[in-house]
Structure 1
C-alpha cells in the first residue's frame, strides 16, 4: 500500500535509507567517512524535519507494518530552471523487493499527485538504477558531483516529463 509518511515512520525511513545507501555505495566496504555520512544524515530527526517541511512530500510503500520502499520529493528544488519540474530526492526500495514494481508504483503515485515533470540525480556507477530510470522514460540531461571524504563522485541528472 502507498500512503503519505507519518511521524511514526521516521525510524523505519532512517533504517531503510542506511541499508539501501550502504548496499548501493559502500561497494568496497565501510570506512570512517562513509559511516559518519550515513549515521549523521539518515536519522530519525532528519525524517521528522522533512515531514514538517512544507516543500517536501514522502510517500511510503508498506506491506502491513513493514516499510518496503519510499520516495521523497522536494517540490521547490529545480535543476537549472523550473521547466525540469521538481526533484525526486530519494527513491529507495529494499533490495529484497527489487523487481516487484514497487519503484514504478511509487513514481506513478508521485506523478499523479504532483505532476509529470521531475528530475533526480543518481551515481554514475549505479547501473541498476540508471537502467530502471531509462526504462521509465527518463533522459540524461547533465551531471552533478557529490562530495564525500574529500572525493568527488559523479552523478547523472535524469529528467522525466509527460509532455
Structure 2
C-alpha cells in the first residue's frame, strides 16, 4: 500500500550499479521486442555501466533522483523531477519516448505532456522513431 509520504533523494555514487542494472532492464523492455542479439546487447552493456552512471551522478550539470518507495514510483518520480525543475526556475521540460511504447506515451499524456514532434534514437546505422513530448511547469 502506498503511503502518503514518498521518499526521494539525489543519487549517490553507491547507487551507480543499481541504476546501471535498472537502465539495462528498462532499455531491453523498451527496444528489444524481438529478442536479444549481439548488436543490442553490446550497445546496452557498453552504455549502461557503473562507470558511466557514476560520471553522471557526480556531474554538476546532471541530476538523478532515486525513489525509496515501493509503489507509485513512476508518477512519484515524475512529480519530484518536475518540482525540482520548478525550484531551479525551469519553465518547461521535454523528453523522447519510443513511438512503439504506448504505455509510456499514455502515461506522459495523462500527466499533461503534449506531443510536439518526433526524432530518431540511433544506434550505429539503425534508427528508431521516438515521440518528443513537452510539458510546461507552472
TM-score category (smaller protein): 0.7 to 0.9
Aligned to 1:32: 38
Instruction: Report how far residue 62 of structure 1 moved.
Output: 2.2
- Asked if the contact 2:30/2:98 (under 8 Å) is kept, the reply is no
**2:64 is equivalent to residue 58 of structure 1:** yes
- Asked if the contact 1:13/1:47 (under 8 Å) is kept, the reply is yes
**2:113 is equivalent to residue 142 of structure 1:** no
| Higher relative contact order (Cα pairs below 8 Å, separated by 6+ residues) | 2
Q: What CA RMSD, in Å, does the superposition of the two structures yield over aligned residues?
A: 1.4
Point out the structure with max Rg over C-alpha. 2
Alignment of 1:1-163 (within 5 A): 1-63=7-69, 100-115=71-86, 116-163=91-138
Scaled by the length of structure 2, what TM-score is found?
0.87
Distance in 2, matches of 1:152 and 1:108, equals 30
Scaled by the length of structure 1, what TM-score is found?
0.74
Aligned to 1:86: none
Q: Runs of 4 or more off by more than 2 Å in structure 1?
A: none
- Asked if the contact 2:9/2:67 (under 8 Å) is kept, the reply is yes
Unaligned ranges ≥5, structure 1 = 69-99
- Asked if the contact 2:121/2:129 (under 8 Å) is kept, the reply is yes
Instruction: Report how far residue 150 of structure 1 moved.
Output: 2.1
Instruction: Report how far residue 149 of structure 1 moved.
Output: 4.6
Aligned length: 128
